[in-house]
Structure 1
Amino acid sequence: MGNTDIFLDKYKQLENCAINEFKLPPDGSAVAKLEKRSEFKDIKYELNYCREVRNLLQHNQKLDDEFPVEPSNKMIELLDTVIDRIKNPVRCIDVAILDRNLIWRSYEDRVLPTIKLMNEKNISHIPILKDRRVVGDFSDNCVFPFLLGDDNCHIDENTRFKDLKQYLDLEAHPSEVFKFIPADSKLSYAEKLYEEARNRHERIGLVFLTANGRSDERILGILTAWLIIGQ
């Protein structure tokens, strides 16, 4: 079997995978729709090229019993890659900061050393945990409301996170929201959450990963906008 026959066979496999996985209509537009999906934005031009080559091969007669062009090995490898990405999509837990590597604090920890650490490591959010469950988040979004609370509000060496408790609650952050999703969710689902938040002019502080996406479960990892952008 030559490259052309292999290419056409792989292309058909790709169409079927896309139709089954993404519930697309079997009208010949499956690959064109893949090009518009965020999880394939890095190869959308290559997909478009493959689609044009396929159309040329499919809708034009052979010349002297030969196809007018022969796809390269690279094009066949690309189709294999896309098929694999559809069958084995990247999961959120695959790119997350896992719980064992997570920098977090409890209500009893001191605030000032944490602020210094955040400044040194350029960390914007520190989850507050109790029994490995999220009970709050510390960021500049809660520091300023605390300091502006009344004249007696200040942070010194003795200030602990429990002193800021009402400002650490996830619902208390004035300009950001937080999401809980299952750890094995497709990364494309998290990307969609960020996209929808932008459309609503919201900012997602962190995406927390738990077994079933419930806020009362133990945290398994976190996602940030930077982690998603880096994919």
Structure 2
Amino acid sequence: MDRNEQFIELYNRLDNLLREYYHLSERSFSVIKRYEDELKKSSLWKNRERGMALESIRTVRNTLVHEPKIKNQDIFMIEESVLDFLKKEIDLLIHPWTVYEKRKPLESVVYCHLESKVKDITNLMQKKHISHVPVLNHHKKVIGVFSESTIYTSLLFHSKVSINDETTIQDFIPFIELEHHSSERFAFLEKNARMNDIYELFDKRKPHDKRLVMIFITENGSIHEPLLGILTLPDLIQSIE
């Protein structure tokens, strides 16, 4: 079997897997086009890149099927890298990544407690180049997020707030509470959720929605469970490279 024949075989397999993925039976339209269109609308450049690659692959496939040869000679021969791309797409559908596999584990997450000193946390944020720090109780459950905007928001509503060496995260309640972040939002997902579920959370944002900045991974996606890890947009970009 030459590379062109392998290409057609892999393309058809991807097509069949996508029909299962979308729960479709009819073959009156290209399900790969639907998939590529969704990828091209993604907020992640790597996904948009995959969508554009699939668009080119679909065009090549149509050429191979309808005009495969000229004077009994192949018009072109598919490169091995294209076959590898299709194999990877197929593998992602057969063995989809879970958020647990791609998460930043808790032991690698910078987090704090209510009694943590604000100066210590802000210094750590500056050193680690991070903008959001989950606030956990002593059962490792999320009770809020301390961010760069927390201090500014508190000053806006309470001009008498002052920060010294003894100021703690506790002093910024209720501004650390998840629902009180004015322009940001946070989500919880169960550890077995697929990565596609996360892409949808980022991609389905409406124009006036708060910006999704952090996803918390717990056993069943509940705020009342210990934190297992987090995912941010930079984590997502890194996970698909």
The interval holding the TM-score normalised by the smaller chain is: 0.7 to 0.9
Q: Is residue 29 of structure 1 aligned with residue 30 of structure 2?
A: yes
Choose the corresponding residue for 1:85, options 86, 92, 116. Answer: 92
Q: 1:72 aligns to what? A: 79
Q: Secondary structure at the match of 1:166?
A: coil
Choose the corresponding residue for 1:183, options 191, 211, 226. Answer: 191
Residue 37 of structure 2 aligns to which amino acid in structure 1?
K
* Matched-pair contact (CA < 8 Å) for 1:211–1:220: yes
Moved more, 210-219 or 38-47: 38-47
CA offset digits 1:139-181 (Å, max 9, x no partner): 1232123233435421111112222222211112222111111
Moved more, 143-152 or 129-138: 143-152
Identity percentage of aligned residues: 26
CA offset digits 1:32-51 (Å, max 9, x no partner): 22222337422333322322
Moved more, 78-87 or 97-106: 78-87
Residue 14 of structure 1 aligns to which amino acid in structure 2?
L
- Which structure 2 residue ranges, 5 or more long, are not aligned? 40-45
Q: Secondary structure at the match of 2:204?
A: helix
Q: 2:43 aligns to what? A: none
Quick one: structure 1 residues 40 and 87, their matched pair in 2 at CA, closer, same or farther if it must change by over 3 Å? Answer: farther
Q: 1:3 aligns to what? A: 3
Residue 6 of structure 1 aligns to which amino acid in structure 2?
Q
Aligned residues: 231
Q: 2:212 aligns to what? A: 204
Q: Is residue 106 of structure 1 aligned with residue 91 of structure 2?
A: no
Q: 2:141 aligns to what? A: 133
Could you state the TM-score of these two structures normalised by the residue count of structure 1?
0.87
Q: 1:146 aligns to what? A: 154
Task: Quote the offset at 1:9 in angstroms.
Answer: 1.7
Quick one: structure 1 residues 85 and 127, their matched pair in 2 at CA, closer, same or farther if it must change by over 3 Å? Answer: same
Q: Is residue 53 of structure 1 aligned with residue 60 of structure 2?
A: yes
In 1, Cα distance between the equivalents of 2:213 and 2:7? 44
Task: Quote the offset at 1:69 in angstroms.
Answer: 4.2
Moved more, 130-139 or 108-117: 108-117
RMSD: 2.4
- Which structure 1 residue ranges, 5 or more long, are not aligned? none
Q: Which runs of 4+ in 1 moved over 6 A?
A: none
Could you state the TM-score of these two structures normalised by the residue count of structure 2?
0.84
